[in-house]
Amino acid sequence: MGVCVVPQAAVPETFSGALEKVRGEQRVRQALEAGMSTVEAFERFGIM
């Protein structure tokens, strides 16, 4: 867990980006659990 301090005006964009990252990580996790290799997952999703 961590802390992110951003200007109030940047909160919506920051929050949206964080949610997008979490959703992507969930897709990667599901793919790995289904048997996809880490290399293939990174090539497909671009994140780990």
Q: Which residues make Cβ contacts (< 8 Å) with residue 26, sequence separation at least 6?
A: none
* Amino acid 46: pLDDT: 92
d(Cα 39, Cα 2) in Å, to the nearest integer?
A: 27
* Amino acid 1: pLDDT: 81
* Amino acid 34: pLDDT: 98
Where exactly are the structural domains of the chain?
12-45
Q: Which residues make Cβ contacts (< 8 Å) with residue 40, sequence separation at least 6?
A: 31
pLDDT, one tens digit per residue, over 1-48 is 888 899 999 999 999 999 999 999 999 999 999 999 999 999 999 988
